[in-house]
Amino acid sequence: MRSTTMIQIVGCHAEGEVGDVITGGVAPPPGDTLWAQSRFIATDETLRNLVLNEPRGGVFRHVNLLVPPKDPRAAMGFIIMEPADTPPMSGSNSLCVATVLLETGIVPMTEPETVITLEAPGGLVQATATCRDGKVERVRMRNLPSFADRLDAVLEVAGVGTLTVDTAFGGDSFVIVSAETLGFALTPDEARDIAVLGTKITAAATEQLGFAHPDLPDWRHISFCQVAAAVRPDGDGLLGRNAVAIRPGKIDRSPCGTGCSARMAVLHAKGQLAVGQRFTGTSLIDSRFDCRIESVEDRGGRAWITPSLEGRAWLTDTRQILLDPSDPWPAGYRLSDTWPGPQG
């Protein structure tokens, strides 16, 4: 067996969305902060191309690189690689990271509950894992502080018309648009159409509304479009079905943890969701995240919520990535039959 690299991966998915974890074989990237390290991974692209592109990856795959934390309060750092972005935070990916760390024994598991602080590129998050018989049954993730940005903003989308949308940060940047207005019932057969339209709406939102985060000055685009059904009462809480379009054009199989956080920030700003009230996000495959606003803080006249989301993750496989020195495609490839949009 001939290889210039040998990367250990534990495959995982959280509520349906793949979030593999690199557990060995990659040295920590240069950078004084997790954010700087993640910018190196984003601009260098070597690792992203190897693990995300075909033949080793595919548009459905997200991969997380474990790195030593920079903050002494964290047990582990992780850098998230998604098809188009290397983001500040991700709900489904963070659930996969916590589950892999505990189920593989990289971080010791304590039953019935293990609490670990993780360092995402955007800051510290806290995982509270419910564990039994060596299995992580569920993880509640306390996410990054989140905020509503533009409420009821007007957006022109070519071929669609004028839309009224909200934008928000929930660990990543979102444009949120009504499913009813777009004519979607949020059924699985609509996945392709939502992915195509959602990607178009994301591009229009970045161009016309933009995005700014005081602590992440170089995160200036909208990453995702959340096509959201109107919330409905669910006991004491609210239920919100959604489909999140991920560039270059796929749908999140999970209810999108950063998306639920962004939506909670918007619902709170509109006076529709109180601190501590349950918000359940559901996805096109009917998976769920149970979410709530843990606390609210005023920063410069804007309400910043600290959201949490709870869901489940399952290990799927272990594998080693090899690169034969004679392989003519060391960076892999993308073709538009499965990778929509501009080709990498």
Judged by the rule CB under 6 A, the positions of this chain that interact with ligand HY3 are 17, 82, 90-93, 172, 246, 252, 254, 256-258
Residue 185 burial (10 A CB sphere; 0-12, 13-18, 19+): exposed
Closest distance to ligand HY3 from the beta carbon of 17 (Å):
5
AA identity, residue 261: S
Cα distances from 28 to residues 4, 36, 38, in angstroms, run 17, 12, 10
Q: Which of 131, 225, 256, 260 is catalytic?
A: 256
Alpha-carbon distance of 62 to 301, in angstroms, equals 36
Contact 259, 226 (CB under 8 A): yes
Q: Of the two residues 53 and 92, which places its CB atom closer to ligand HY3 in the complex? A: 92
Q: Is the peptide bond before 87 cis (omega within 30 degrees of 0)?
A: no
Closest distance to ligand HY3 from the beta carbon of 319 (Å):
21
Closest distance to ligand HY3 from the beta carbon of 326 (Å):
35
Task: Provide the sign of the torsion angle of the four alpha carbons 36, 39, 45, 48, taken in this order.
Answer: positive
Q: How many residues does the chain have?
A: 344
Q: Of the two residues 37 and 92, which places its CB atom closer to ligand HY3 in the complex? A: 92
Residue 265 host element (H or E): helix 257-269
Contact 181, 271 (CB under 8 A): no
Q: Of the two residues 26 and 80, which places its CB atom closer to ligand HY3 in the complex? A: 80
Closest distance to ligand HY3 from the beta carbon of 188 (Å):
17
90 is catalytic: yes
Q: Please give the structure tokens belonging to residue 161.
A: 């018309």
Q: Of the two residues 81 and 269, which places its CB atom closer to ligand HY3 in the complex? A: 81
Alpha-carbon distance of 214 to 299, in angstroms, equals 10
Q: Of the two residues 82 and 103, which places its CB atom closer to ligand HY3 in the complex? A: 82
Q: Which of 12, 38, 90, 131 is catalytic?
A: 90
Closest distance to ligand HY3 from the beta carbon of 103 (Å):
19
SS3 93: helix
256 is catalytic: yes
Nearest to 255 by CA among 220, 230, 280, 275: 280
Residues with catalytic roles:
90, 256
